[in-house]
Structure 1
């Protein structure tokens, strides 16, 4: 680190658990963020301000005026602009040393397979189950830790799925693709503005902990927030040994396909 970096990141360096070694790990890290909206905004800003050297952002959406109630990385002057490009500008305004790669197309299996091998951590800030399952499948396939968050109305949740650990569940262990979940959208259900900031900040914290090997991540635990009462609840989520993505169910499915 140069003198400027030592000064910028001095409050991290003062932490015994992180220190210079941990900060150097951040300065050598690459994070992939899928979604540049309510969750992606605080995630991107905190990772950038913390010194994560390279951030790739995937989002094909454009800023709408209704986004400004909660998507704090975007500005009124940017209405109509691609969110990925807007968030890159917000990052540059905080920390111009960060390399930002904007991908302004929808996250599909081919794109995720292309990008995942180069990253150290993945943050799911998307807003629909189909994309979340694609991200989870790519995370398991490429053995990349996944920090997943969701927020709607006054309710939020966050967890870490780490395929590098044999005991870690994946997203499909908790929300199987074979089950039907009601897709809830902010446009129809509403969302409390600070909620996405709270959940996105927790996602950023979990990603930084994973990159620095600090503390205990939320692997195998689902943290849920009821914003009405600011009450946190935690559920232990075991690995599903028959999971179609990370368990024996995947092996059996692959075997049937190849024979």
Structure 2
């Protein structure tokens, strides 16, 4: 393959695979840098004291400490910083990796560089290698970008080793980089590349990489909100703000994304302190997805509003998972009063696995909101949530330990199913596949609910098709929040 020009493109597509399989390529570089920046430049390479030879390569502006500790479990004190040159080869370049038992020579490497870069890049390269860091007196590192097509490059690297050091200029006494004057003793070793860039990793899963630069706010990080927050990180959101004043409790762990290992911290000697939910969730998300920025605000929503620290209209999506109708009505009212507001999602579950709901509002229009759901259908009826699958007027709270231990029974299956519906709604919303402000409801198995002696609402008996068809019929033309009609005094 590659001997005939007709096969060259196929070979380029598989170049990195062939390069990694070369028996001379026993080094590995974990690369996290801006691949869209196709300019020749210096980047940083960090040597890690792991088995074999392992490098971490990133932009000079990137602080790698948190990432290296999170991903490679390597202490910063054991990491050595080196200079690396990124050299983008010009379009039309064609090379082949080493054959079995065949090693590259420095002459081949030098010819590759100078034959396949532009005259402008040659000038930049000379400027860069005229300054040689002391740390690179025996080794130099080069990362190459080999164009596959107009959209992507193959990445591969070379280590240059000159055991007796660089040659010194007789006139200026300045050390001369091997690409300017080659020492007698010099050899090169290839290294393979593993990408860590979020866009690349998301593309590998078929995910939507457009979330990388976006900001989501989650209000309430209990059983539903915690799963939503973790899912937003998996989706690639660049920034996630978490708002919740509550602490994680042992009673939460079997339906919360956090486990018992994040119940307590020992910041104070000889004292156990319970984590705030947002603090623990920030630790967990940034541990698993260290490229995600998490902002944890351990305050009530009203306090956050008073602080005026969040520019709400700069967020891309806001998700409310509080399970408290009065509090959510106030939140709904606040965002509908803004001149500009991002889309707002409310999510909640019903007891005993009977179902859950996701309400999308402020999706390009104001008509249809959380307040619309709470009204009587006639003068004789009381106010109820029109989306409910349970007949109105029933109480579902239980207690296992007396006063102060009341809870609404539902399992992690119900909260995670609802959270997944939230995430699917966000993905569909980003693709402009949802019009208006619909409510999406999922139905569970009502057996346990009925066995407890409870009654289902008429809405539960709708088919999935009917629920979808009627997803915007909850709109209240007289809603005091979204109808532009004043509430009578």
TM bucket, shorter chain: 0.7 to 0.9
State yes or no: 1:8 paired with 2:201.
yes
The residue matched to 2:283 in structure 1 has which SS? helix
2:263 corresponds, among 78, 90, 95, to: 78
2:368 corresponds, among 169, 173, 176, to: 169
Q: After TM superposition, give the deviation of residue 136 of structure 1 in Å.
A: 1.1
The structure carrying a bigger helix percent of its residues is 1
Q: How does 1:133-148 map to 2 (within 5 A)?
A: 133-142=329-338, 143-148=341-346
Q: Distance in 1 between matches of 2:224 and 2:212?
A: 23
Q: Distance in 1 between matches of 2:314 and 2:372?
A: 25
Q: Distance in 2 between matches of 1:161 and 1:87?
A: 24
Partner of 1:106: 300
Instruction: Give the aligned length.
Output: 244
Structure 1 window deviating more from structure 2 (232-241 vs 102-111): it is 232-241
Matched-pair contact (CA < 8 Å) for 1:34–1:107: yes
Q: How does 1:1-259 map to 2 (within 5 A)?
A: 2=35, 3=195, 4-12=197-205, 14=206, 18=208, 23=209, 25-79=210-264, 80-108=274-302, 111=305, 114=308, 115=310, 116-142=312-338, 143-151=341-349, 152-166=351-365, 168-176=367-375, 179=383, 187-210=406-429, 212-216=430-434, 219-228=437-446, 233=464, 234=467, 235-238=470-473, 239-249=475-485, 252-253=486-487
Query: Can you give the 5+ residue segments of structure 1 that lack an aligned partner in the other structure?
Result: none
Matched-pair contact (CA < 8 Å) for 2:476–2:483: yes
Query: Can you give the 5+ residue segments of structure 2 that lack an aligned partner in the other structure?
Result: 1-33, 36-194, 265-273, 377-381, 386-392, 399-405, 448-459
Q: After TM superposition, give the deviation of residue 166 of structure 1 in Å.
A: 3.5
The residue matched to 1:195 in structure 2 has which SS? helix
Q: Distance in 2 between matches of 1:102 and 1:68?
A: 19
Q: Distance in 1 between matches of 2:364 and 2:303?
A: 23
The residue matched to 2:327 in structure 1 has which SS? helix
CA 218–243 in structure 1, closer or farther in 2 if over 3 Å, else same: closer
Q: After TM superposition, give the deviation of residue 94 of structure 1 in Å.
A: 1.9
Matched-pair contact (CA < 8 Å) for 1:68–1:76: no
CA 189–137 in structure 1, closer or farther in 2 if over 3 Å, else same: same
Asked which structure has the greater CA Rg, the reply is 2
Matched-pair contact (CA < 8 Å) for 2:367–2:483: no
The residue matched to 1:9 in structure 2 has which SS? helix
Q: Distance in 1 between matches of 2:435 and 2:255?
A: 26
Q: After TM superposition, give the deviation of residue 197 of structure 1 in Å.
A: 0.7
The residue matched to 1:108 in structure 2 has which SS? helix
Q: After TM superposition, give the deviation of residue 98 of structure 1 in Å.
A: 1.1
Q: Which has the higher contact order (CA 8 A, sep 6+)?
A: 1
Q: Distance in 1 between matches of 2:437 and 2:307?
A: 23
Q: Distance in 2 between matches of 1:102 and 1:83?
A: 9
Matched-pair contact (CA < 8 Å) for 1:144–1:162: no
Matched-pair contact (CA < 8 Å) for 1:31–1:121: yes
The structure carrying a bigger strand percent of its residues is 2
Q: Distance in 2 between matches of 1:45 and 1:133?
A: 25
The alignment yields a C-alpha RMSD, in angstroms, of 3.1
The residue matched to 1:102 in structure 2 has which SS? strand
Matched-pair contact (CA < 8 Å) for 2:221–2:278: yes
Q: Distance in 1 between matches of 2:286 and 2:444?
A: 33
Q: After TM superposition, give the deviation of residue 137 of structure 1 in Å.
A: 1.4
Q: Distance in 1 between matches of 2:223 and 2:371?
A: 23
**Per-residue CA distance 1:104-151 (angstroms, 9 max, x = gap):** 011128628943223111111112112211221123223321121111
The two structures have a TM-score, normalised by structure 1, of 0.81
